[in-house]
A and B are shown apart, each in its own frame.
Chain A
């Protein structure tokens, strides 16, 4: 069966520090992968999506970047975090019945 792993679950980082969040998928190949941010516990904002290795589409210009170094790995990064980067980050892949989400990472920038 297909599973999606996302880590870490929580992260507290100082302003100006770098960020790396990782997402991996098991049990499928060449998945469409997505990074979302959920601010204030409500609406979902699509940040990046990838349809294949090295292929990244950005939906919102901002302080973040994404990479897909392997077929089932999707990484969200930042060189210097801002306070406004705080939020709940969700990775997802597109399966047969729609999206399957990871368990999320709660990022607090202090």
Chain B
């Protein structure tokens, strides 16, 4: 069965420090991988995606993620956290063979950046 795991319910990071939000996945075929961010009482915003090619993907707001096929992971990273990065982050995966293009969502990780 397809699934996405975000093992950390919450991540706390001091401003200026690097941050990592973890995501692992399980699909039967090749994955498309996504990260979204949600600010309070707002819709989700696209951050970045991995489809194919370079395993290191760069996205919005200075975020990047590395696709690791052997570890089935797609961790979100940023070299220097900002207080404004505090939000809820969702990882999602789609099996490229799924003709309905549905995403499987992780439960979300709350990122708190402390000044």
Contact = CB atoms under 8 A, between A and B. Distances in A.
Interface of A: 6, 32, 41-44, 46, 49, 51, 57, 88, 90, 92, 94, 97-104, 106
B107 A43 contact: yes
A6 to B, nearest CB: 8
Contact of B46 (A32, A88, A99): A99
Given A57-B100, A98-B92, A99-B44, 18 more contacts: A41-B88, A42-B88, A42-B108, A49-B100, A49-B102, A51-B100, A90-B44, A97-B46, A98-B32, A98-B46, A98-B103, A99-B36, A99-B46, A99-B103, A101-B43, A102-B43, A104-B43, A106-B41
A101 B105 CA distance: 14
Contacts of B49: 97-98
Interface of B: 32, 34, 36, 41-46, 49, 88, 90, 92, 100-103, 105, 107-108
A100 B46 contact: yes
Interface SS of chain A: strand
B37 to A, nearest CB: 11
Contacts of B88: 41-42
B41 A46 contact: no
Nearest to A100: B46
B100 A101 contact: no
A46 B102 CA distance: 9
23 contacts: A32-B100, A41-B88, A43-B108, A44-B90, A46-B102, A49-B100, A49-B102, A88-B41, A90-B44, A92-B43, A92-B44, A97-B49, A98-B34, A98-B46, A98-B92, A99-B34, A99-B44, A100-B46, A101-B45, A103-B42, A103-B43, A104-B42, A106-B41
Nearest to A4: B43
B44 A101 contact: yes
A21 B44 CA distance: 18
Contact of B105 (A41, A43, A102): A43
A41 B103 CA distance: 19
B107 A42 contact: yes
Nearest to B99: A51
